[in-house]
A and B are shown apart, each in its own frame.
Chain A
């Protein structure tokens, strides 16, 4: 069956232009797909209670009168996202919708305002459609820490979709979403994209406003698109990128038309492969998929060489100090005073805090809060937090050095294809190592994209990651699109989950 739900955003846009489909048909098609598949996938959170939101500007009427499909003066028609449903990760605030971060502590919390990315999508005519499952507060790499139960990988329901944006990845891969927004603090867009065989982009820190993204680690978080192909990724970034006066850390850097980088030749492009990413820990299958991808890229004229990012081995250590430290402070506001879960049996104030937070947070959230609180506590700050921030500087300068020599870096996205549900839940440290290749981009603030580059013998998707200089997402789209056009991986889709 080739339903409207199978289309990409750019394909839908074409259909709209030809007046060959209506918004209702698309939403119906998606709803039908969700009804038939999501019972197994659990990619959405409370789908039935979440109403689609679409801003109807006065120009809407003009659109339908616009025979011939050419862009007219009205703004929404010019937007290729007009009428395109976008699924939203459950940690991005949409006014009037529940924003729970898949946590008990925020269950039934209705956000009273729109995140800036939501405003931008609505202004572009997109439809805000459903909220996707995730690891609780984005703490995890498997979607298993969700209060709503784990989302499943559409390629194998016994396996994880990756995380934390596992629901976004699973919905886009399973054709229950056209495209989705995720958030990435240490790989939470790219790793699930790789595990589910889709395209996931973490933009440069500051490229996309964080206003309305429920913070995990403020100096690492970025919102980004999760799509079926590179073109959709560029289309979405065109809309959500840009300076936001509500976010002091968003950069006032012009937003180019990212689709202009698509279809360009990569002849002579210098691609570096950091040798530290190809050591022990990388599965053979992933290693081989990367190897053949490199051949493909060389065939397209790229010049591939080895480079070094010498402090790579410390990235996970740094990350597991910086991220939990910031998180421990960011999550202090979940105190049961103004909103969210409160333990009503508590008698004293301190007991109210401790029991509300004790009941409301899951085990991984507690581990990270404890870890971060300790790293910031008196007597340990210098040894942990300050030290980590200094090593972070070294990791960042590794990238500065590498980008003097090459245009992009190529690495695996994840050490292995999707692992089994429950496989790593008992060992937090093993779970943390799932992010070993994605964490550095967040620490250095550079943009990175994961695109499909092969399949394992079990028919599980494998992803590769490109990284570029800050604000050079264009180069990422250029090389990713060239690779995608030369391969068929992105066209594969998982079979219907069997009952």
Chain B
């Protein structure tokens, strides 16, 4: 993949915004977002959800009015820095015991539906 951009200031940069000046509720496509979030929706629920989420988005879109020129984003409420742990070995978990929680296992492995290798 393309290496992400590098920031020289301390500001976080995200992907570019398609429509910076747009004022209204952004294009919102529930099916696309649901697929990204791996959420299945019943066909009958789609409409209600879509209008609810669109309503909330319209509400949060109020933020567009706020001028934040030159304001740094706050990702952490506290100014903590350089928190490390030392390179010391800690005991591992007993996985066989833990696997009582697992929906499907084979031996010590977790089992998932066959992943088809993604090549043609």
Q: Which residues of A are at the interface with B, using a C-beta cutoff of 8 A?
A: 108-110, 112, 204-206, 219, 245, 248-249, 251, 311, 314, 316-318, 320-321, 328, 332, 335-342, 344, 346-355, 357-359, 361, 363, 366-367, 369-371, 373-374, 376-394, 396, 428-429, 432, 443-445, 470
CB–CB A444/B26 < 8 A: no
CB–CB A389/B40 < 8 A: no
Within 8 A of A (CB), among B40-97: 40-41, 49, 52-53, 55-57, 59-60, 62-64, 66, 68, 71-78, 80, 83, 85, 93, 97
CB-CB under 8 A for A320 and B59, given A382-B16, A391-B66 = yes
Which residue of B18, B28, B83, B110 contacts A374 across the interface (Cβ within 8 Å)? B28
What 0/1 readout, one digit per residue, does chain B (6-35) give for beta carbons within 8 Å of chain A? 000000101111111010001010100111
CB–CB A342/B104 < 8 A: yes
Min CB gap A2→B, angstroms: 42
CB–CB B113/A314 < 8 A: no
Min CB gap B52→A, angstroms: 6
State A385–B75 Cα separation when bound (angstroms): 10
Q: Can you pick out 23 interface pairs between chain A and chain B where the beta carbons lie within 8 Å of each other?
A: A206-B78, A219-B75, A249-B80, A321-B60, A321-B63, A336-B103, A338-B110, A348-B116, A350-B38, A353-B38, A357-B40, A370-B39, A374-B53, A382-B20, A383-B26, A386-B14, A388-B63, A390-B72, A390-B73, A392-B73, A393-B71, A394-B71, A429-B59
Which of B33, B49, B98 has the largest number of chain A CB atoms within 10 A? B33
Closest chain B residue to A384 by CB distance? Answer: B60
CB–CB B113/A346 < 8 A: yes
CB–CB A393/B74 < 8 A: yes
CB–CB B66/A394 < 8 A: yes
Residues of A within 8 A of B41 (CB): 358, 366
CB–CB B85/A245 < 8 A: yes
Closest chain A residue to B101 by CB distance? Answer: A339
B112 at the interface (CB under 8 A from A): yes
CB–CB A340/B39 < 8 A: no
Residues of B within 8 A of A373 (CB): 33, 36-37
Closest chain B residue to A343 by CB distance? Answer: B40
Other A-B pairs, 19, CB within 8 Å; known A109-B101, A370-B37, A388-B63:
A108-B101, A112-B98, A112-B101, A320-B56, A328-B37, A339-B101, A340-B101, A348-B113, A350-B38, A367-B52, A373-B33, A373-B36, A379-B18, A383-B17, A383-B20, A389-B74, A390-B74, A391-B63, A394-B68
CB–CB B68/A387 < 8 A: yes
CB-CB under 8 A for A382 and B14, given A248-B80, A337-B112, A370-B34 = yes
CB–CB B101/A110 < 8 A: yes
CB-CB under 8 A for A339 and B14, given A219-B76, A392-B74 = no
B120 at the interface (CB under 8 A from A): no
State A314–B61 Cα separation when bound (angstroms): 10
State A444–B93 Cα separation when bound (angstroms): 37
Min CB gap A286→B, angstroms: 23
B2 at the interface (CB under 8 A from A): no
CB-CB under 8 A for A429 and B56, given A318-B63, A443-B77 = yes
CB–CB B68/A371 < 8 A: no
State A350–B28 Cα separation when bound (angstroms): 22
State A238–B68 Cα separation when bound (angstroms): 39
State A332–B38 Cα separation when bound (angstroms): 9
Min CB gap A219→B, angstroms: 6
Count of chain B residues with a beta carbon within 8 Å of a chain A beta carbon: 59
CB-CB under 8 A for A219 and B77, given A357-B38, A370-B39, A394-B66 = yes
Min CB gap B15→A, angstroms: 4
State A219–B3 Cα separation when bound (angstroms): 27
CB–CB B101/A389 < 8 A: no
| Closest 4 pairs (CB-CB, A-B) | A445-B77, A358-B40, A381-B14, A389-B73
CB–CB A205/B78 < 8 A: yes
Residues of A within 8 A of B1 (CB): none
Residues of A within 8 A of B75 (CB): 219, 389
Min CB gap B78→A, angstroms: 5
Which residue of B16, B74, B78, B103 contacts A470 across the interface (Cβ within 8 Å)? B78
CB-CB under 8 A for A366 and B102, given A206-B78, A318-B63, A393-B73 = no
CB-CB under 8 A for A320 and B60, given A245-B85, A337-B112, A342-B103 = yes
Residues of B within 8 A of A444 (CB): 77
State A349–B71 Cα separation when bound (angstroms): 43
Residues of B within 8 A of A392 (CB): 73-74
Closest chain A residue to B60 by CB distance? Answer: A317
Which residue of B15, B56, B78, B114 contacts A367 across the interface (Cβ within 8 Å)? B56
State A373–B35 Cα separation when bound (angstroms): 10
Residues of A within 8 A of B106 (CB): none
Residues of A within 8 A of B83 (CB): 248-249
Min CB gap B24→A, angstroms: 12
Min CB gap B71→A, angstroms: 4
CB–CB A369/B112 < 8 A: no
State A35–B26 Cα separation when bound (angstroms): 51
State A357–B11 Cα separation when bound (angstroms): 34
CB–CB B93/A112 < 8 A: yes
Which of B22, B26, B77 has the largest number of chain A CB atoms within 10 A? B77
State A83–B71 Cα separation when bound (angstroms): 50
B100 at the interface (CB under 8 A from A): yes
CB–CB B103/A314 < 8 A: no
State A336–B103 Cα separation when bound (angstroms): 7
State A416–B85 Cα separation when bound (angstroms): 46
Residues of B within 8 A of A206 (CB): 77-78, 80
CB–CB B102/A338 < 8 A: yes
Closest chain B residue to A373 by CB distance? Answer: B37
